[in-house]
Structure 1
Amino acid sequence: MDIICSACGRKHQLTARIANSLERLEPGKKLRLQCSHCQKPILCGPELLRSEAHLRKGRKKELPLVKPPEPPDISWLREGIFEEETVVSDIPQALVMVPAGKIQEQISHALTGLGYRPETAETVPEVMGKMQFFNYSSIVMHTSFDGYSLETNPFHAHMCEMNMSKRRYIFYVLIGSQFKTFYNLQAMACSANLVVNEKDCSHFSVILRKSIPEYEELFGPFMEELKVRGR
């Protein structure tokens, strides 16, 4: 904001020095300046600073809200329209961390059909013990496994903190009612490779046949190069 002389209309810049003087003014006092053009006095008060602050605030541009992408259309999943083009092979072991029941059976059946050797576990300590001795190519976990929430689950924290030299070789799938199947934004937020709504587990075989080849196509050449370089 400029300081304007009421006598001649000349504009003067509100400098930092003048602003400091205005800040130190006692209540009811005015700062007396002299117009450089007509030499008439100009009286300024602290309200000038408040006006300047208001103008600056008004000039700030509001940041546009970033709208996240919509979840993918999975109508084809329920219609069963999908042609398998890639055969999943050389994936020896998978770990299923899902409570015993229909969903666990659906997942294990789908994994077996795709060449996995699925193993099940009932508790987090059991899983942590298995991880010390086996290298799993795929891990499927329900968000309520062993009575934990996803935020408090020690195994999920272990996966999030795992060194990438090991983590990049594990296809980590999370299952829960809060997820939208194939929604990569949710998967990234949870440090997973894939999220699946538990209502879609009856199509788990189709889901894996679509997801795993895409994962291997994206990361396969990169991981092979790391193997060559000994990383």
Structure 2
Amino acid sequence: MEIICDECKSKFKIPDEKIPEGKTTTLKCPKCKGKISITPPQKNENNEPEALEEDNSAFGFDVDSSDDGEDSYDADEKPFDFIEEEGKTALLCESDGGIVKNAVSVLERMEYHVTVPENIREALKTMRYHSYDLVIVNENFNTRNLDSNGILVYLERLNMALRRNIFVAMLSERFRTNDNMVAFNKSVNIIINMKDMDKFDRILSQGISEHVMFYRVYKETLKSAGKA
């Protein structure tokens, strides 16, 4: 759903499933901190108001039903509840500070908003609230078993309709860059060997371009059939 702040006129997108049905929700604009009121369309087939219980835990933002609304939204804690139009987001799961610094620099040049979690638990919590365009995971990240990284397991079990919209790159010391058989086995889009991190920008850009071209016809077919 697209929403517009009445005060600063900024446009944002917010997932429909995060908006409570049947009631007006007040949020705080992450830019100007002004109030934004959202009234979703009624889905009651009998056109009668439904009594809904409030369950704020189901949403990736804090719902404010009161008038003050001072603490209704924490833009620092949940930076991607609101995403500006055409905004791209990336999740970078890497423990080495030097690699993180270089990778973030590359991703920001590619116009991604980047999240860098401290551990697997934080990464999984973040992914609950936002579907990222790009996920980069070191197979060593916060795990002792390289073959059962919690983030990769989570992504592997995602609904395919969601998973195909996420480009997943796995950083590895064991496997060579662009090893398609390993990528298929690990359910990721590309393997990048740690020895090739000096070429990280070129390898990643090429991989994403090939991914976009691969799915372009498929997505256009779904869209024309009204299924996307």
- TM range, smaller chain: 0.5 to 0.7
C-alpha distance in 2, partners of 1:100/1:178?
17
Whether contact under 8 Å (1:136, 1:170) holds in the other structure is: yes
Alpha-carbon offset, residue 193 of structure 1: 0.1
Pair 1:133 & 2:145 matched: no
Alpha-carbon offset, residue 90 of structure 1: 3.9
C-alpha distance in 1, partners of 2:135/2:151?
11
What are the Cα deviations for residues 97-131 of structure 1, in whole angstroms up to 9, with x where unaligned?
00141111222111111111111011111111111
Higher helix fraction (1 or 2): 1
DSSP-derived class of the 1:147 partner: coil
Match of 2:92 in 1: 96
Q: Choose the corresponding residue for 1:223, options 216, 219, 225.
A: 219
DSSP-derived class of the 2:178 partner: coil
Alpha-carbon offset, residue 149 of structure 1: 2.7
Whether contact under 8 Å (1:96, 1:120) holds in the other structure is: yes
C-alpha distance in 1, partners of 2:96/2:177?
21
C-alpha distance in 2, partners of 1:227/1:154?
33
Whether contact under 8 Å (1:91, 1:137) holds in the other structure is: no
CA RMSD of aligned residues (A): 1.8
Partner amino acid for 1:134?
A: H
Q: Choose the corresponding residue for 2:116, options 108, 116, 120.
A: 120
Alpha-carbon offset, residue 227 of structure 1: 4.0
Pair 1:201 & 2:159 matched: no
Match of 1:181 in 2: 177
Q: Choose the corresponding residue for 1:210, options 182, 206, 212.
A: 206
- CA 1:109–1:207: 2 relative to 1, 3 Å: same
DSSP-derived class of the 2:202 partner: helix
Whether contact under 8 Å (1:174, 1:195) holds in the other structure is: yes
Q: Percent identity?
A: 25
Alpha-carbon offset, residue 221 of structure 1: 2.3
- CA 1:226–1:91: 2 relative to 1, 3 Å: farther
C-alpha distance in 2, partners of 1:91/1:217?
20
Pair 1:154 & 2:165 matched: no
Alpha-carbon offset, residue 91 of structure 1: 5.3
C-alpha distance in 1, partners of 2:86/2:134?
12
Count how many residue pairs are aligned between Structure 1 and Structure 2.
143
Match of 2:103 in 1: 107
Whether contact under 8 Å (1:180, 1:196) holds in the other structure is: yes
Match of 1:40 in 2: none
Partner amino acid for 2:204?
A: L
Give the TM-score, by structure 2 length: 0.59
Q: Structure 1 residue runs of 4+, over 3 Å off? A: none
Whether contact under 8 Å (1:124, 1:155) holds in the other structure is: yes
C-alpha distance in 2, partners of 1:167/1:150?
21
- CA 1:90–1:195: 2 relative to 1, 3 Å: farther
